[in-house]
Structure 1
Amino acid sequence: MAGHEMRVFASFGMWAARRRHGVPAGASAFPYARGQALMMYAFAFVCAVETFGMWALLRDYPVLHRVTLVLDVYTVVMVLGLHAASVTRPHVVTREALRVRRGAHVDLRIPVERIAEVRRENRFTHTPREGELNLDVGAQTTLTIELAEPVRHMTLLGRPKEISVVRLHAEEPDRLARALDKVRRGRTRPSPALDRPV
């Protein structure tokens, strides 16, 4: 949890500098945060209003006033930090792997050779199932990735899970699907031709 919060706070600096985390040269980044931006800003505004309200209500109780103010300000900062982490940590496609992420708490590397199928699929319901990882934004996923072999995913609390199906949201799902197809074709080399007798 401490590591998660450090990543969230580090995202503020990257957000301000308009930098992205974990996007090496030659890689393609695919953002997903736009679909949640309005909701996150609205939630931060509601938390800020509540902070002001509690500050006014509890000003005659100094100890409780200070504790509540610290907690409320921390909540506003964390809400904005979670959005900053989503903006600065996009999905990434390299020649070797697909890196799927959601904010600072999901970061799963999938080797390209383990990807069996990439399917464009809009889904609005995601019932938790064993072996599936749903990275929805605004309750929506736009791409389904089926794996030939499972990959190990560590949950936020450090529990390992074997993942065979990943559903994720991307702002440009068709472009992400094309990038994955291109990388997969590039790794499937044609068989060498047999030597002809002289």
Structure 2
Amino acid sequence: MSGIRAAVRRVVPGPVRRLLEHEVRAAGALGRWALRRPPHGVGAGDLAAGYTGPQTAMMYGLVFVSVIETVALAVLIPWPAVHRVLLVLDVYGVLFVLAMHAACVTRPHVVRADGSLRIRYGVLFDLTVPADAVASVRVDRRYPEGRLVALSEDGVLDLIVGSQTTVTVELTRLLSFTRPLGARARARTLRFHADDPRALVAALRQPASP
């Protein structure tokens, strides 16, 4: 088995392997979501903080458009073989969008009982911030531009959902994180979205209270 894995690493580029891993894990999240299993990585005494609010309508909109496209192409294209190919592609597209959304729903941010913070975006991003690395935390609504994970030159990491972030965490030291395609980087300030930022901030501050 180790030989097979080594061969795959040699032949398949790292970013491609990461994308395949993301798809497999997202499929598992879709199953968890469909079966209404408890959120992933949330223990007793932890606070689960959802972040899908700004993107939910867009995700379901994409699914709706994909379904309409499938029906329209079935009517407009007269070749059965083409129908089958497009049907497979459209079903895959619908399942992919649902899986990515399910991964976000089932993998919320987590404020642990020990004061640490786990910041996530589905299966694409996962960063644990130890309690002693948190210098300050505040509700801070911003509307940054850029892709999902954006890192500025001065070490500010934006994890953007629906073109917004609502929580800012200042760190006591640089923390390393992994980008969705596997590259490593470091940040000193974290900005991300939570649907209820006040609850997350209050929970993160609580362990430091007397």
- Corresponding position of 1:191: none
- Corresponding position of 1:3: 21
User: What is the alpha-carbon root mean square deviation over aligned residues?
Assistant: 1.7
* Alignment coverage as a number of residue pairs: 185
1:75 matched to 2:99? The reply is no
Q: Which amino acid aligns with 1:162?
A: R
Gap regions ≥5 residues in structure 2? 1-18
Residue 96 (structure 1) shift? 4.8
Q: Which amino acid aligns with 1:21?
A: H
Work out which of the residue numbers 89, 97, 112 in structure 1 matches 2:131. 112
- Corresponding position of 1:139: 163
Q: Which amino acid aligns with 1:84?
A: A
- Corresponding position of 1:55: 74
1:169 matched to 2:188? The reply is no
- Corresponding position of 2:110: 92
- Measure, in 1, the Cα distance between the counterparts of 2:62 and 2:90: 12
Deviations 1:160-195 (A, max 9, x none): 011211111111111111111112347xxxxxxxxx
Work out which of the residue numbers 41, 45, 52 in structure 1 matches 2:60. 41
- Measure, in 2, the Cα distance between the counterparts of 1:69 and 1:14: 25
Using the size of structure 2 for normalisation, the TM-score is 0.82
Residue 16 (structure 1) shift? 2.0
Q: Which amino acid aligns with 1:170?
A: A
Q: Which amino acid aligns with 1:172?
A: D
Residue 90 (structure 1) shift? 0.6
- Corresponding position of 2:141: 122
**Contact preservation (8 Å) 1:126, 1:134:** no
- Corresponding position of 1:181: 205
**Contact preservation (8 Å) 1:106, 1:156:** yes
**Contact preservation (8 Å) 1:113, 1:184:** no
**Contact preservation (8 Å) 2:116, 2:204:** no
- Measure, in 1, the Cα distance between the counterparts of 2:204 and 2:79: 60
Matches within 5 A, 1:140-155: 140-155=164-179
Gap regions ≥5 residues in structure 1? 187-198
- Measure, in 2, the Cα distance between the counterparts of 1:100 and 1:181: 16
Q: Which amino acid aligns with 1:91?
A: H
SS of aligned partner of 2:127: strand
1:26 matched to 2:10? The reply is no
Using the size of structure 1 for normalisation, the TM-score is 0.86
- Measure, in 2, the Cα distance between the counterparts of 1:107 and 1:167: 14
**Contact preservation (8 Å) 1:91, 1:99:** yes
Residue 122 (structure 1) shift? 0.8
Residue 61 (structure 1) shift? 5.5
- Measure, in 2, the Cα distance between the counterparts of 1:115 and 1:33: 24
- Higher Cα Rg, which structure: 1
**Contact preservation (8 Å) 1:58, 1:65:** yes
Q: Report the identity percentage.
A: 42
